[in-house]
Structure 1
């Protein structure tokens, strides 16, 4: 499998002399457990939470924001998900898309909107405030990132069948679980 990635890896150009900037915005419909994500203290010398500890070597390259108030956008706290990156009720570009328009030209893809499962309420909005399409299937993301023209027919078959190697692995895990629990 790794051999299939070689043409893709070989085609990736290293960044110019200055480092390429990136922005990652994450959200959860019901929010995060505060102690698991947010540091106890603010400022540059903050101590990483246990959940973020694996990112320790990148500590100087990211910031954590919390405490945003979206009350003007919607009255009900659960409805604010759609305004998570805009802070407004409608017709506003989201923070990630604003950043993508400025720094996305330095990367292979200006912006990728990913979702774990079907995105009922997308949080990413274009310049006119329209929801951005989300990628929710790992096989679709894999194709977008790693497919080379030689793989196109095989990838089309996999995508049309609605199955991927991850789906097969999940089936194996379920079968194993049933066997072990008997």
Structure 2
């Protein structure tokens, strides 16, 4: 096999690349039973962080004083944990925020077994075959760049609520079902051939390379198994959902469009169409229909400490939290039929950013909040160690993975886990 050639398998919606190996081998590309009470993940993020004086509470512990930005979540104060002094240990500047859910920049991904795969996609892979959609990713503009596959490929979000609705709730026509089956069958047969190439490559690899290849072989096996799972969903009708209230009775504002996205995700959770969802608030999004906002989101972060501009920035960040709060209330209103508590009690909610504060391009002390998910929440926590060093955010992700039912003691740049106990 030519070590310099790049073989691409088309039609899989992505690329499966080999890890960097000692032998400098070529890249080979390719694109259960449902628990009665599944654990779910909802991530809400932005690329510009939060104004720290308004986001972080001034005191620590369970009885912390709610901060101005987090005021919409005061009703859930005892069901959330705010983590101060955690980050990915990166230098300041734009471009690092894309590491929010992975801890790894694409340029450095080759050093990690799963490259810069984001934590949501690790969880999504774990649910493959159990749900119709392994994950749902939505935003009102592109550019949030939160979601990354094991191949190092960015997953772009749905940016039109109507298109998201069509994707989630419109059934395929007979012709579309036929095309979908043919595509799955064709991709499955191509993957068989790639698996043969992969096996031959393993035979002549060094012991160290074999270990790396085995990790990627697991991804191939999961992909093979998923074809049968995808085929099984084609003839199953999707649940009905009425989105008209967001577009017919009210003005089409940023708020109503996000309401539609969050409502669809809540219903997708309720009907077990998916267990993993992410929602982004991109920096190019226009918030001028939010009360008190006249400037662009990015422009508000570069405020020169002007209180009038800071007030607009805090209004934008509070709007994001208010949207999340509304969704959490909806999840909390849905009882779990086979378990104690509400859907919120069984949904890990993560809010945050890969940037600490856009005003200084700081990538330290990221604004991180976890809610729900069956944890014994801690209020406001200082995550620094005894030496005063910030905790790697990936330590928290190890804990979230374990809560999701994935036995992991490491995730990318983690050095351990975060002590957030599970509820009994």
With normalisation by structure 1, the TM-score equals 0.56
> How far apart are residue 52 of structure 1 and its match?
4.0
Per the alignment, do residues 147 and 29 of structure 1 end up closer, same or farther by CA in structure 2, a change over 3 Å counting? Answer: same
1 CA distance for matches of 2:57 and 2:127?
Answer: 27
Equivalent position of 1:78 in the other structure? 94
1:26-74: per-residue Cα shift (whole Å, max 9, x none)? 22222123354444444555454454454455555554445433344xx
Per the alignment, do residues 59 and 24 of structure 1 end up closer, same or farther by CA in structure 2, a change over 3 Å counting? Answer: farther
1:3-28: per-residue Cα shift (whole Å, max 9, x none)? xxxxxxxxxxxx8543x322222222
Instruction: Name the structure with the higher strand share.
Output: 2
2 CA distance for matches of 1:82 and 1:71?
Answer: 14
CA contact (8 A) 2:58 2:64 kept: yes
Equivalent position of 1:156 in the other structure? none
Equivalent position of 1:22 in the other structure? 40
Do residues 109 (structure 1) and 172 (structure 2) align?
no
CA contact (8 A) 2:118 2:148 kept: yes
> How far apart are residue 123 of structure 1 and its match?
1.6
**Number of residue equivalences:** 139
Per the alignment, do residues 104 and 82 of structure 1 end up closer, same or farther by CA in structure 2, a change over 3 Å counting? Answer: same
CA contact (8 A) 2:142 2:156 kept: no
With normalisation by structure 2, the TM-score equals 0.28
1:86-129: per-residue Cα shift (whole Å, max 9, x none)? 1112231111112223357665532111123122x512101122
Give RMSD over aligned pairs: 3.6
Of 52-61 and 123-132, more deviation after overlay is shown by: 52-61
Q: Which runs of 4+ in 1 moved over 6 A?
A: none
> How far apart are residue 79 of structure 1 and its match?
1.3
Equivalent position of 1:95 in the other structure? 119
Do residues 32 (structure 1) and 50 (structure 2) align?
yes
1 CA distance for matches of 2:83 and 2:42?
Answer: 12
1 CA distance for matches of 2:51 and 2:58?
Answer: 13
CA contact (8 A) 1:70 1:80 kept: no
Per the alignment, do residues 68 and 130 of structure 1 end up closer, same or farther by CA in structure 2, a change over 3 Å counting? Answer: farther
CA contact (8 A) 2:54 2:67 kept: yes
